[in-house]
A and B are shown apart, each in its own frame.
Chain A
Amino acid sequence: MSKDWNNNAPIYRQLKDRIVAMLLDGLLKPGDPLPSVRQIAADFQLNPITVSRAYQELADATLVEKRRGIGMYVTDGAREKLIVSERERFLQEEWPQMVERIRRLGMNTTELLSAANIGGAQ
């Protein structure tokens, strides 16, 4: 993970997004422990409150759970839950912008599909 942050969103949200990406990519699997708040704070040079807030949001979305006294663990089915919510978000937020741009550039589906195939997508 790169340690650079951008100025467009609060750091806790960027940290949360990175963990979400790791869950989607299968780098974090159900039952895997998250590093301690202290460890993340030290490694990324963040205030521990920032890290706790990111963890809390993941817990609120039931993607991770707190096991008393030992820390945070990825829940069963976290990836499936994420895929549902991320697909929804893609369709609501990202796709309309892409469609708008495709229209503006006057591109058709044949062109786009062949470009996607060259790019390695199935």
Chain B
Amino acid sequence: MSAVISAKGLTKRFGKTTAVDNISFDIPAGRIVGLIGPNGSGKTTALKAILGLTPFEGTLSVLGLDPRTQRDELMQQVCFIADVAILPRWLSVGNAVDFVTGVHPKFDRAKAERYLASTKLKPSLKVKEMSKGMVVQLHLALVMAIDAKLLVLDEPTLGLDILYRKQFYQHLLEEYFDENKTIVVTTHQVEEIEHILSDLMFIRDGKIVLSSTMDDVGIRFVEVMVSVEKAEAARALKPIDERQVFGKSVMLFDGVPRETLAALGEARTPGIADIFVATMKGTYA
């Protein structure tokens, strides 16, 4: 099967501002892709284009469909949890399940009810009586019971406590994800999802500045703690970032062989957060 999402020259302008600037990428099935970027970098706009929620320039194919003209067909196979996950305040859990049963042909009501039974979400509970974490749980119950090929998550755990955040990804991996499904997720809590991801995309000022599998990220990026006498030799290899710790320089390298760097000091694989900070330097300057 071809790519689940294929974008070529995807561009979105708001007046004079270019929110998404000529980006191209392919996402195959069975991947969990993290789309990571600072506030205002174009993440949500790109996701909206994928979901057919906004017009755009360029070509975009999602599950072989054009989100601009085939949105109805697309919505049968795609689910979305937005950062502003708003449900009507008067809606009860039971109402929500009835509604989705009525409108979505692929909704597995029994599965949703099974999942809800494991939570504190009683059928009579109304959205206005729920905590933020409970609203996300309800969303997740509805979404996971739809056998959608693509799941798009825009800051799904924003504002949730650590228990709800952990539970969210745990349920997603346990109940929903398999090799035929694809998840695209944006989040600022990169440390929490870095081992879940199979692919990583960094977006900055509407452009993709890094697109790589997590395996390649582990090979490409190396952090080395360099002592003073070797600092000059290390700088000659052009680190993308340097900071001082205990009188030593911690340098981050992109694409320099690990063996070369091991001679300069202790080499380790940096976390996504370290790479992110180095890549986004000067964003708000």
A interface residues, Cβ below 8 angstroms from B: 5, 7-8, 10-11, 38-39, 41-50
Contact = CB atoms under 8 A, between A and B. Distances in A.
Q: Which 10 A-B pairs have the closest CB atoms?
A: A42-B174, A42-B173, A7-B268, A41-B173, A42-B170, A46-B195, A7-B269, A47-B198, A47-B196, A45-B169
11 contacts: A10-B218, A38-B178, A41-B173, A42-B170, A42-B173, A43-B170, A45-B166, A45-B169, A45-B173, A45-B192, A46-B195
Nearest to A38: B174
Interface of B: 32, 166, 169-171, 173-174, 177-179, 192-193, 195-198, 214, 218, 268-271
A45 B174 contact: no
> DSSP majority for the A interface?
helix
A39 B174 contact: yes
Contacts of A47: 32, 195-198, 214
Contacts of B170: 42-43, 45
A91 to B, nearest CB: 24
Contacts of B197: 47
A28 B218 CA distance: 31
A11 B268 contact: no
B222 to A, nearest CB: 10
Contact of B177 (A5, A8, A48): A48
Nearest to A49: B198
Contacts of A45: 166, 169-170, 173, 192-193, 195-196
